[in-house]
């Protein structure tokens, strides 16, 4: 599970799934059996070992109160992954959404909205499943008709709405374009332009995007390495 707090990744992983190569990438490694979790530990890329549901919620409370300026990412390594995830979901109101990357002739569809490059996505309507929502949202926001090819990943991000703590779960798909003759940006969603870009071009423009969107694109590239996209 990966949650984005103010564009910072907060990952929950099983302790026995961390490789030596992965642990070498962290700036700090903290054993929560030996050290109490405090705000001053949240700098750079930090890995917490022996995390529990309680310490994970404690870290989230710190992030929501005041995001540490020097924090890049948090990884909570735990033997109780399901318990930790359930506890975190329980402190938020969960909203479901879906979106995706549309592919045409080897190029991917990106949108420019609110001064950032993004991917089409939106909340599920009542009675709708994630695949249906992804296809509908893409057509509404871009005018492009597409059909789902495969699941890419799931992201979570937080925000506040009417004093409620919201956790948005977004399922991401890769889709094939079947008709882009009506392609046009949805103005009332503040979408300024749409672009078909190669992977190299997409990598360049994603410098001006969100960590969650870069995570989706990286996940698609990994999928591409296994399957022909």
Return the HEC string of the chain: CEEEECCEEEEEEEHHHCCHHHHCCCCEEEECCCCCCCHHHCCEEEEEECCCHHHHHHHHHHHHHCCCCCEEEEEEEECCHHHHHHHHHHCCEEEEEEEEEEEECCEEEEEEECCEEECCEEECCCCCCHHHHHHHHHHHHHCCEEEEEEEEEEEEEEEEECCEEEEEEEEEEEEEEEECCCCCCCHHHCEEEEEEECHHHHHHHHHHCCHHHHHHHHHHHHHHHHCCC
Q: Cβ(130)–Cβ(124) under 8 Å? A: yes
Q: Cβ-count burial of 179 within 10 angstroms (0-12 exposed, 13-18 middle, 19+ buried)?
A: exposed
pLDDT at residue 130 tops 80: yes
Average pLDDT (88-114) is 96
Tell whether the torsion through CA atoms of 195, 199, 201 and 206 is positive or negative. Answer: positive
pLDDT of residue 21: 86
User: Mean pLDDT score of the chain, rounded to an integer?
Assistant: 94
The 3-state secondary structure of 136-157 reads HHHHHHHCCEEEEEEEEEEEEE
Confidence of residue 111 (pLDDT cuts 50, 70, 90): very high
Give tens-digit pLDDT for 134-145. Answer: 999 999 999 999
Interatomic CA distance for residues 190 and 163, integer angstroms? 25
Which part of the chain has CATH 3.90.79.10?
A: 93-226
pLDDT of residue 227: 53
Average pLDDT (32-55) is 96
Alpha carbon 138 to chain centroid distance?
A: 17
CATH class for the region spanning 93-226: alpha beta
Confidence of residue 121 (pLDDT cuts 50, 70, 90): very high
Average pLDDT (53-79) is 95
Average pLDDT (39-44) is 96
Give tens-digit pLDDT for 156-186. Answer: 999 888 888 999 999 999 999 999 999 999 9
Average pLDDT (55-71) is 94
pLDDT at residue 127 tops 90: yes
Give tens-digit pLDDT for 5-34. Answer: 999 999 999 998 888 888 999 999 999 999
pLDDT of residue 226: 47
Give tens-digit pLDDT for 190-227. Answer: 999 999 999 899 989 999 999 999 999 999 998 877 45
pLDDT at residue 229 tops 60: no
């Amino acid at each position: 599970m990966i949650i984005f707090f103010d564009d910072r990744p907060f990952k929950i992983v099983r302790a026995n799934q961390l490789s030596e190569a992965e642990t070498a990438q962290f700036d700090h490694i903290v054993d929560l059996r030996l050290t109490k979790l405090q705000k001053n530990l949240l700098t750079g890329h930090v890995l917490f070992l022996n995390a529990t549901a309680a310490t994970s919620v404690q870290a989230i409370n710190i992030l929501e109160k005041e995001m540490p300026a020097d924090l890049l990412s948090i990884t909570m390594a735990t033997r109780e992954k399901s318990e930790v995830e359930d506890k975190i979901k329980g402190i938020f109101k969960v909203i479901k959404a879906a979106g995706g990357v549309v592919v045409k002739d080897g190029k991917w569809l990106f949108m420019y909205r609110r001064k950032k490059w993004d991917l089409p996505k939106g909340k599920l309507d009542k009675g709708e499943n994630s695949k249906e929502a992804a296809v509908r949202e893409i057509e509404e926001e871009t005018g492009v008709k597409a059909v789902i090819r495969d699941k890419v990943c799931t992201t979570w991000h937080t925000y506040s709405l009417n004093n409620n703590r919201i956790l948005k779960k977004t399922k991401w798909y890769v889709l094939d374009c079947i008709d882009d003759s009506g392609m046009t940006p949805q103005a009332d969603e503040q979408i300024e332009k749409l672009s078909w870009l190669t992977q190299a071009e997409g990598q360049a423009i994603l410098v001006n995007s969100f960590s969650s969107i870069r995570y989706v694109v990286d996940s698609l590239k990994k999928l591409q390495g296994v399957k022909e996209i």
